[in-house]
A and B are shown apart, each in its own frame.
Chain A
Amino acid sequence: MKKFLLDYNLKVRLPVIIFVIATVFVITYYISYAERNSIGYAPSQPINYSHKLHAGSVQIDCKYCHTGVNFSRTANVPSVDVCMNCHSISRKDKPEIQKLTNYFENNTPLHWKRVHKLPDFAYFSHSLHVNKGIDCLNCHGDLKLMEVVTQVNSFTMGACLDCHRNPQNKIIDYHKLTNIKKGPEHCSACHR
Chain B
Amino acid sequence: MLSEENLPENIEENSSNFKDIFRELHSDKEFNHLYNEALEKRAPLDKNFSRRKFLALLGISAAFAATGCSNYRDKGNIVPYNKKPSEITIGNPVFYASTCNVCSNSCGILIKTREGRPIKIDGNPDHPINSGKICTTGQLSILSLYNPQRIKEPIFNNTQISWQEADKNIIQTLIKTTENGKEIALITNGITSPTYKKLIEGFIKTFPYTKIYSYEITGYTNKINAFKKTYGRESLPSEDFENAKIIVSFECDFLNNYPNKLSVLNKFSKNREIIEKENFNRTYCFESTPTVTGINSDYRIVLRSDILEEFICCLINEFHTVKKLSEYAKNISVINLFSKYILSDFILKNNLSKNVIDNLINDLSNNTGKSLILGGIQLSESTQILIFFLNKILENDKLYSKDKEIKCQYPLIKKADFNNLVEKINNDKIGVLTHIDTNPVYHFNGIFDYIKAIEKVPLVITLTEFESETSAQSHYTLPINNYLESWGDYNYVTGIYSLQQPVISPIYNTRQKEEILLTWIEGTHQNNSYLRYLKNNWEKNLLPAFGFPFDFKSFWINSLNAGVVKTNEKINFTGEFKIEPSELSNKPTSVTTNDYVLIIKENPFLLDGKYANNGWLQEIPHPISKIVWDNYATISPSAAKNLSLNTGDIIEIKKSGKSIKIPVLIQPGNADKVISVELGYGRTKAGIIGSFIGTNPICLLNADKDDLIIKDIEIVKTGNTYELVSTQEHYSLEKYKDIPIKRNIIYEFELDEYRKNHDLINSKEVEGINLKTFPSVNQPHKYDELKWGMAIDLNKCIGCGACAAACNIENNIPMVGKEQVKLNREMMWIRIDRYYTGDINNPSISLQPVLCQHCDLAPCENVCPVAATTHSTEGINGMAYNRCVGTRYCSNNCPYKVRRFNFFDFRDNFKEGFLYSEPLKQLSNPEVTVRSRGVMEKCTFCLQRIMNARDNAVKENRKIEGTDVVTACQEACPTNAIIFGNINDTNSDLNKYRNHKLGYTLLEEIKVKPNITYIAKLRNNH
B82 touches A187 (CB 8 A): no
A111 CA / B82 CA spacing, docked (Å): 10
A28, CB-defined interface residue at 8 Å:
no
Q: Apart from A107-B82, A131-B955, what are 11 other A-B pairs with CB-CB below 8 Å?
A: A41-B73, A43-B74, A73-B951, A81-B83, A111-B77, A121-B881, A121-B882, A128-B950, A186-B871, A191-B880, A192-B940
What are 11 inter-chain pairs, A to B, with CB distance below 8 A?
Answer: A38-B75, A68-B91, A72-B90, A77-B80, A81-B84, A110-B80, A128-B951, A187-B878, A188-B876, A192-B927, A192-B940
A160 smallest CB distance to B (angstroms) = 13
Known: A123-B927, A192-B944. A72 touches B78 (CB 8 A): no
Chain B residues with CB under 8 Å of A94's CB are none
A81 CA / B80 CA spacing, docked (Å): 10
B43, CB-defined interface residue at 8 Å:
no
Q: Mark A108-131, 1 if CB is under 8 A from B, else 0.
A: 111111111101110101011001
B77 touches A114 (CB 8 A): yes
A110 touches B79 (CB 8 A): yes
B872, CB-defined interface residue at 8 Å:
yes
B929, CB-defined interface residue at 8 Å:
yes
- Report which residue of B870, B878, B943, B954 has the largest number of chain A beta carbons within 10 angstroms of its beta carbon: B954
Q: Which residue of A lies closest to B943 (CB)?
A: A192
Chain A residues with CB under 8 Å of B955's CB are 70-71, 127, 131
A72 CA / B88 CA spacing, docked (Å): 11
B6, CB-defined interface residue at 8 Å:
no
B928, CB-defined interface residue at 8 Å:
yes
Q: Mark B875-895, 1 if CB is under 8 A from A, else 0.
A: 010111111000000000000
Chain B residues with CB under 8 Å of A119's CB are 882
> Of A35, A123, A179, which contacts B947 at CB under 8 A?
A123
> Of A80, A113, A121, A128, which contacts B77 at CB under 8 A?
A113
A121 touches B954 (CB 8 A): no
Chain B residues with CB under 8 Å of A104's CB are 82-83
B80 touches A186 (CB 8 A): no
Q: Which residue of A lies closest to B92 (CB)?
A: A72
B882 touches A68 (CB 8 A): no
Known: A68-B90, A192-B929. A112 touches B871 (CB 8 A): no
Residues of A at the B interface (CB closer than 8 Å) are 35, 38, 41, 43, 67-68, 70-74, 76-82, 103-104, 107-117, 119-121, 123, 125, 127-128, 131-132, 179, 184, 186-189, 191-192
Known: A110-B79, A114-B76. A189 touches B929 (CB 8 A): no
Chain B residues with CB under 8 Å of A107's CB are 82-83
A79 CA / B88 CA spacing, docked (Å): 12
Chain B residues with CB under 8 Å of A103's CB are 82
B94 smallest CB distance to A (angstroms) = 12
> Of A115, A128, A184, A192, which contacts B873 at CB under 8 A?
A184
A80 CA / B83 CA spacing, docked (Å): 6
A64 CA / B254 CA spacing, docked (Å): 55
Q: Which residue of B lies closest to A115 (CB)?
A: B75
Known: A71-B955, A79-B84. A114 touches B91 (CB 8 A): no
Known: A131-B954, A131-B955, A187-B872. A112 touches B82 (CB 8 A): no
Known: A77-B78, A110-B80. A127 touches B873 (CB 8 A): no
> Of B75, B943, B957, which contacts A117 at CB under 8 A?
B75
A191 touches B78 (CB 8 A): no
B536, CB-defined interface residue at 8 Å:
no
B82 touches A128 (CB 8 A): no
Chain B residues with CB under 8 Å of A80's CB are 80-83
> Of A115, A125, A187, which contacts B870 at CB under 8 A?
A187
Chain B residues with CB under 8 Å of A82's CB are 84
Q: Mark B75-113, 1 if CB is under 8 A from A, else 0.
A: 111111111100001111000000000000000000000
Chain A residues with CB under 8 Å of B73's CB are 35, 38, 41, 43
> Of B71, B883, B954, which contacts A128 at CB under 8 A?
B954
B39 smallest CB distance to A (angstroms) = 39
Residues of B at the A interface (CB closer than 8 Å) are 71, 73-84, 89-92, 870-873, 876, 878-883, 927-929, 940, 943-944, 947, 950-951, 954-955, 957
A114 touches B929 (CB 8 A): no
B875 smallest CB distance to A (angstroms) = 10
A22 smallest CB distance to B (angstroms) = 24
A76 CA / B81 CA spacing, docked (Å): 10
B79 touches A186 (CB 8 A): no
Q: Which residue of B lies closest to A186 (CB)?
A: B872
A118 CA / B879 CA spacing, docked (Å): 18
A119 CA / B876 CA spacing, docked (Å): 23
B268 smallest CB distance to A (angstroms) = 35
Chain A residues with CB under 8 Å of B929's CB are 120-121, 191-192
Nearest 8 Cβ contacts at the A-B interface: A188-B878, A72-B91, A79-B84, A79-B81, A186-B872, A74-B91, A114-B75, A192-B943
B950 smallest CB distance to A (angstroms) = 7
Chain A residues with CB under 8 Å of B872's CB are 184, 186-189
A110 touches B82 (CB 8 A): yes
B75 touches A186 (CB 8 A): no
A127 touches B954 (CB 8 A): yes
B486 smallest CB distance to A (angstroms) = 27
Q: Which residue of B lies closest to A179 (CB)?
A: B957
Chain A residues with CB under 8 Å of B878's CB are 186-188, 191-192
B940 touches A111 (CB 8 A): no
Q: Which residue of B lies closest to A70 (CB)?
A: B955
- Report which residue of A123, A127, A187 has the largest number of chain B beta carbons within 10 angstroms of its beta carbon: A187
Q: Which residue of B lies closest to A71 (CB)?
A: B89
A132 smallest CB distance to B (angstroms) = 6
A156 CA / B562 CA spacing, docked (Å): 45
A109 touches B82 (CB 8 A): yes
Q: Which residue of A lies closest to B955 (CB)?
A: A131
B82 touches A68 (CB 8 A): no
Chain A residues with CB under 8 Å of B880's CB are 121, 187-188, 191
Q: Which residue of A lies closest to B870 (CB)?
A: A187
Q: Which residue of B lies closest to A116 (CB)?
A: B75
Chain B residues with CB under 8 Å of A115's CB are 75
B939 smallest CB distance to A (angstroms) = 12
Q: Which residue of B lies closest to A188 (CB)?
A: B878
Chain B residues with CB under 8 Å of A188's CB are 870, 872, 876, 878-880, 940, 943
Chain A residues with CB under 8 Å of B870's CB are 186-188
> Of B71, B80, B928, which contacts A78 at CB under 8 A?
B80
Q: Which residue of B lies closest to A42 (CB)?
A: B73
A191 CA / B872 CA spacing, docked (Å): 11
A34 smallest CB distance to B (angstroms) = 11
Chain A residues with CB under 8 Å of B876's CB are 188
Q: Which residue of B lies closest to A76 (CB)?
A: B90
A41 smallest CB distance to B (angstroms) = 5
A111 CA / B76 CA spacing, docked (Å): 9
A112 touches B80 (CB 8 A): yes
A125 CA / B940 CA spacing, docked (Å): 18
Chain B residues with CB under 8 Å of A186's CB are 870-873, 878
Chain A residues with CB under 8 Å of B90's CB are 68, 72, 74, 76
A112 CA / B75 CA spacing, docked (Å): 11
A68 touches B89 (CB 8 A): yes
Chain A residues with CB under 8 Å of B71's CB are 43
A125 touches B80 (CB 8 A): no
A73 CA / B951 CA spacing, docked (Å): 8
- Report which residue of B73, B876, B957 has the largest number of chain A beta carbons within 10 angstroms of its beta carbon: B73
B890 smallest CB distance to A (angstroms) = 14
Known: A114-B77, A128-B951. A72 touches B943 (CB 8 A): no
A189 CA / B90 CA spacing, docked (Å): 21
A68 CA / B89 CA spacing, docked (Å): 6
A186 CA / B871 CA spacing, docked (Å): 7
Chain A residues with CB under 8 Å of B79's CB are 109-112
- Report which residue of B76, B873, B951 has the largest number of chain A beta carbons within 10 angstroms of its beta carbon: B951
Chain A residues with CB under 8 Å of B950's CB are 128
A17 smallest CB distance to B (angstroms) = 22
Chain A residues with CB under 8 Å of B84's CB are 79, 81-82
Chain B residues with CB under 8 Å of A79's CB are 80-84
- Report which residue of B71, B80, B872, B955 has the largest number of chain A beta carbons within 10 angstroms of its beta carbon: B80
